[in-house]
Structure 1
Amino acid sequence: MWTACAAAQEPLTPLMPGARDQCPVCGMLVSKYPNWVAAVRYRDGHAHFFDGAKDMFKYLQALPKYAPGHRATDIRDIQVTEFYGLARIDARKAFYVIGSDVLGPMGHEFVPLESRADAEEFMHDHRGKRILSFDQVVPAIVAEVDGGRVK
């Protein structure tokens, strides 16, 4: 599903939202929540920013709805903000904890961690329910997290 997004082999250049950048999914001003920023950059250089990984996944799973005229094959990179270090990391390589006691700007969230060990530590410390890789995040799981019904 996401292999079409696996684009450039260049080093990740962190993207920073401007003061007026709004999440295309929920409409929130993204720069207000720097610890949760996620981004999708296209090959032509433009980017869309999100107030968390959950809205980023919603966007990617319904690209025609949120970004008419854009194609997954045109995506250069996908970034999330890592929970502990607050650094921008490659979303496709991150581990996501769901069902924890940590809430993002839009409530229940996919909490991005850089390593499996960090995800396991976070899950233990914050009562998380599951650890997922990027490719394991399917629409049904996004709906589960969005509704706060993670088992």
Structure 2
Amino acid sequence: MPVPGFLLVAALLTQAPREPPRPGPRDLCPVCGMNVAKYPAWQAAVVWKDGGVHHFDGAKDLFKFLQAPGAFLPGRKREGVGALFVTEFYGLKRIPAEAAWYVVGSDVLGPMGHELVPFASADDAAEFLRDHKGRRVLRFAEVTGGVTRSLDSGPF
């Protein structure tokens, strides 16, 4: 006969990661230093396995951070990441960053200029791509340092 406590722990371990709290007025992006709370439509977050949270002013800075966490937060490593979230463009809901569809090269700018614009579905991303002169739709694994550098240097 299974132990009820064991079942509860097993159920908790298989649940989706918990969404982090919204950033407060003093939360600054570790990449650019911008006040994150001022840009709710663009926010992204790292939830650490130790329970800590860091907020970002957009998906682009989240990806820059993931490429070299220790450069922005000494002592932090990619292995310590528990969950990643981005704010999807149309519904302004937080979604897991790994599940998002990202449009690059559009005429919509984020707080730091050209941005990775996240969507919850391929259909939403395709619609946005057409409506806002986007160049490409990328998945999480396709967002490299070359992509973020291209966004920083101007139109993708």
TM-score by length of 2: 0.88
| Residues 67 and 126 of structure 1, relative CA distance in 2, 3 Å threshold | same
How far did residue 101 of structure 1 move? 0.5
| Structure showing greater Rg | 2
Aligned to 2:138: 132
**8 Å contact 2:114–2:155 — kept in the other structure?**
no
Give the secondary-structure state (helix, strand or coil) at the position aligned to 2:109. coil
Which of 138, 143, 147 aligns to 2:149? It is: 143
Aligned residues: 143
Letter in structure 2 aligned against 1:60 = L
Aligned to 2:122: 116
CA deviation digits over 1:123-151, x for unaligned, max 9?
Answer: 0011100000000001011100111141x
Q: How do residues 1-150 of structure 1 correspond to structure 2 at under 5 angstroms?
A: 9-15=14-20, 16-150=22-156
How far did residue 9 of structure 1 move? 4.5
Letter in structure 2 aligned against 1:86 = L
CA deviation digits over 1:13-35, x for unaligned, max 9?
Answer: 33211110000011010000000
Aligned to 1:5: none
TM-score by length of 1: 0.91
Counting aligned pairs with the same residue, the percent is: 52
Give the secondary-structure state (helix, strand or coil) at the position aligned to 1:70. coil
**8 Å contact 1:54–1:146 — kept in the other structure?**
no
Give the aligned CA root-mean-square deviation in angstroms: 1.1
Q: Any unmatched runs of 5+ in structure 2?
A: 1-12
